[in-house]
Amino acid sequence: MRYLPHTEEEIAAMLAVVGRNSLDELFCSIPDACRFAEEMVLPEALDEWQLTRHFDRLAGSMVVSHRHQVLIGAGRYHHHIPESIRALAGRSEFLTAYTPYQPEISQGTLQAMYEYQTLTARLLGMDVANASVYDGASALAEALLMGLRISRKKSKVAISAATHPHYRQVVRTYLNAAGYEVVELPVGADGRCDLGEAALDEMAAVAIQSPNFFGVIEELTTLGETIHAAGALFVVSFTEPLAYGLLKNPGECGADIACGEGQSLGLPRSFGGAALGMFACRDKFVRNMPGRLVGETVDNQGRRGFVLTLATREQHIRREKATSNICTNQGVCALMAAMFMASLGGTGLRRLARLNYDKAGYGRAVLRRAGARMVWETPTFNEFLVEFPSDFAPVRERLRAEGIVAGLELGRFYPEHAGRYLFCLTETVERATVDKIAEEVQR
């Protein structure tokens, strides 16, 4: 086996040093009753070439592949990823390093994380961002737990029903376990969150996703004012951070915590993971923040360097009183996101965000002309919800045969939207594809 360097002679020599007669004898402290009686039942080992063929077969069984145009977003977005990022993030100096506990030989990871934190904070308009958490869903759960810690006295939080349905499920899993109550705020007639009658003053924190699950851009500033007036913390979540290249960012809108999924920034869809939980807050809350933080300092000769810092918040030191149990984060994903943000630059990010906005706008116009109805006419970023004049399923089937996966039916998430389709049009979708869909609808 090529990963195991030991020859039989070396094994014999090493066993002699440790005073054992066989490899089995090394396990003499393990009672027989704890042991496998026989070999584990696993498939026969494959060599590298067999393994490659096995994966060729798996890949071949994918009815929808990278050759398709998949017009689904809903928390996982298709954007172009420059080859430079794949090449750089694949460098084994980054990939095969552990968490940077020895800063003298981890400055590459540490500086890159410091830069990621900074770019994230700038993108979201916040003071400080951490070095990542698992994904957008657990980031939101962590944000609400953080809000409860800060408020101390309250035990309820509220969350917009236009938040990604899976995120709401994860939030319930995390918060119910700890004995907290999660209240859902309804979607109003314009597709935006309706704070309406909710008793916001009972809430430690209120979380609004924008753009929301339907792609609708929330009026965050107004929502934030109402939430703050009720004495609750204002959490803004997101699944499509690219939007902040064009829209007002959470910080500008008064958010206390901004968190969400960073996959859009240079990560492949990859069946939903690896993901990137982005997490940022105001300076005054930093000691309540979960996750690792990199800070600037100097070495013993006064040279600039970076270290993990404020570790006393974390599980390995504060144990059961820690701000979270998280240790392993999404390091390489954060690295890729930083590379993506650096490659785009401020100018490029704005252009790309604008292009996404315009594509969706074009899609809405063309489908409307084809007889479809937009469920809401409220501005959306790169997603929008459509109702077709007649059953869209057969049309969708025809389009798939031609390599286009046209939208996501929302009945399983929102029964009231059964038969309606959520479309996502990013820069990767050409005008001709949109025209083709409209044509098929009219056929």
Partner 1 sequence: MKGFDALLFGEELRYSEDHEWVSTSGETFQVGVSDYAQDQMGDIVYVELPEVGQTFAKGEQFGTLESVKAVSELYLPVGGEIVSVNPALADSPEQINSDPYGSWLVTIKPSDPEELERLLSVAAYRQLLQG
Partner 2 sequence: MSGTVEANGMIQEEPLLWEKGSRGRQGMSIPAADVPPVELPAELCGAGPDFPDLSEVDVVRHYTRLSAWNYGVDSGLYPLGSCTMKYNPKINERLAATPELAAAHPLLADSEVQGCLELMYGLQEGLAAITGLPGVSLQPAAGAQGELTGMLIFAAWHRSRGSRRNKILIPDTAHGTNPASAALCGFRPVPIASGPDGILTTEAVAAVMDDETVGIMITNPNTLGLFETNIREIAEVVHARGGLVYGDGANMNAVMGVVNPALCGVDVMHLNLHKTFSTPHGGGGPGAGPVCVTAELSRFLPVPRVVRAGNGYRLDEDCPDSVGRVHAFHGNFSVLVRAYGYVLSMGAAFLKRASQLAVLNAAYLKESLKESLPLAYPRPCMHECVFSDGWLHEHNITTLDLAKRLIDYGYHPPTIYFPLVVPGAIMIEPTETESQQDLDRFIAVLKQIVAEARNNPELLRQAPTRAKLGRLDETRAARQPCLCG
| Residue 286 touches partner 1, criterion: CB under 8 A | no
- Among residues 240, 235, 218, the alpha carbon closest in space to that of 359 is found at 240
Residue 408 within binding range of partner 2, rule CB under 8 A:
yes
Q: Which stretch binds partner 1 (CB under 8 A): 10-18, 151-159, 307-315, 370-378?
A: 307-315
Closest CA to 178 of 330, 327, 320, 328: 320
CA distances from 293 to 126, 141, 368 (A): 15, 19, 47
Q: Candidates 146-154, 160-168, 231-239, 309-317 — which segment interacts with partner 1 by CB under 8 A?
A: 309-317
Are residues 338 and 116 in contact, defined by beta-carbon separation less than 8 angstroms? yes
Task: Confirm or reject binding of residue 305 to partner 2 (CB under 8 A).
Answer: yes
Q: How far apart are CA 289 and CA 363, in angstroms?
A: 40
Residue 177 and residue 290: Cα distance in Å, rounded? Answer: 18
In the region spanning residues 79 to 118, those forming contacts with partner 2, defined by CB under 8 A, are 80, 82, 84, 86-88, 90-109, 111-115, 117-118
Provide the 3-class DSSP secondary structure of residue 277: strand
In angstroms, the CA 139 to CA 260 distance is 6
The answer to whether residue 318 forms part of the interface with partner 1 (CB under 8 A) is yes
> Could you say which of partner 1, partner 2, none residue 401 binds, taking C-beta under 5 to 8 angstroms by partner kind?
none
Q: Is the distance from CB of 204 to CB of 233 less than 8 angstroms?
A: yes
Residue number with CB closer to partner 1 (287 or 412): 287
Rounded CA Rg of the chain = 25
Alpha-carbon gap, residue 247 to 423, rounded angstroms: 20
Q: Which of the ranges 57-65, 145-153, 199-207, 311-319 carries the binding residues for partner 1, by CB under 8 A?
A: 311-319
Taking CB under 8 A as the criterion, the residue among 312, 398, 418, 431 binding partner 1 is: 312
Please say whether the beta carbons of 19 and 11 come within 8 A: no
Smaller CB separation from partner 2, 138 or 388: 138
Instruction: Tell me the backbone φ, ψ of residue 126, rounded to 5 degrees.
Output: -110, 170
Give the H/E segment covering residue 384.
strand 383-387
Q: Is 327 in the site for partner 1 (CB under 8 A)?
A: no
Cβ atoms within 10 Å, residue 342: 17
Backbone angles phi, psi at 267, to 5 degrees: -105, 145
Shortest distance (Å) from residue 253 CB to partner 2: 9
Question: Which of 148, 150, 162, 167 touches partner 2 by CB under 8 A?
Answer: 167
Please tell me whether residue 325 binds partner 1 under the rule CB under 8 A. Answer: no
Show contacts with partner 2 in window 14-43 (CB under 8 A).
Answer: 14-15, 17-20, 23-24, 26-31, 33-36, 39-43
Figure out which of the listed residues 184, 202, 282, 362 binds partner 2, where binding follows CB under 8 A: 362
Site string for partner 2, 327-356 (x = CB under 8 A): xxxxxxxxx--xxxxxxxxxxxxxxxxxx-
Q: Residue 270 binds which entry of partner 2, partner 1, none, with Cβ cut-offs from 5 to 8 Å by kind?
A: partner 2
Closest distance to partner 1 from the beta carbon of 128 (Å): 16
Question: Applying CB under 8 A, does 44 fall inside the site for partner 2?
Answer: yes
The H or E element spanning position 156 is strand 156-160
Q: 139 forms bridges with which residues in the sheet? A: none
* Cis geometry, peptide bond prior to residue 274 (ω within 30 degrees of 0): yes
> Buried (b) or exposed (e) across 369-385, using 16+ Cβ within 10 A?
ebebebbbebbbbbbbb
Residue from 21, 53, 64, 284 in contact with partner 2 (CB under 8 A): 64
- Touching partner 1, residues 57-96 (CB under 8 A): none
Q: Which residue, 323 or 382, is less far from partner 1 as judged by CB?
A: 323
Q: Which of 317, 327, 365, 418 touches partner 1 by CB under 8 A?
A: 317
For position 144 contacting partner 2 by CB under 8 A, the verdict is no
For residue 387, the cross-strand partners are 373
| Given 143, 275, 370, 399, the residue binding partner 2 (CB under 8 A) | 275
Q: How far is the CB of 312 from partner 1 (least distance, A)?
A: 5
Burial (CB count within 10 angstroms: exposed 0-12, middle 13-18, buried 19+), residue 177: exposed
Site membership for partner 2, residue 382 (CB under 8 A): no
Token pair of 259 as six digits: 């968190």
Q: Which two tokens stand for residue 19?
A: 């005073």
Contact between 51 and partner 1 per CB under 8 A: no
The torsion angles phi and psi of 183, rounded to 5 degrees, stand at -105, 140
Considering only residues 214-253, where is the footprint of partner 2 by CB under 8 A? 217, 219, 221, 244-249, 252
- Scanning 12-20, 102-110, 147-155, 312-320 for contacts with partner 1 by CB under 8 A, the matching segment is 312-320
Per CB under 8 A, the list member of 81, 230, 311, 395 interacting with partner 1 is: 311
Q: Is 411 in the site for partner 2 (CB under 8 A)?
A: no
User: Which parts of this chain interact with partner 1 (CB under 8 A)?
Assistant: 287, 309, 311-312, 317-318
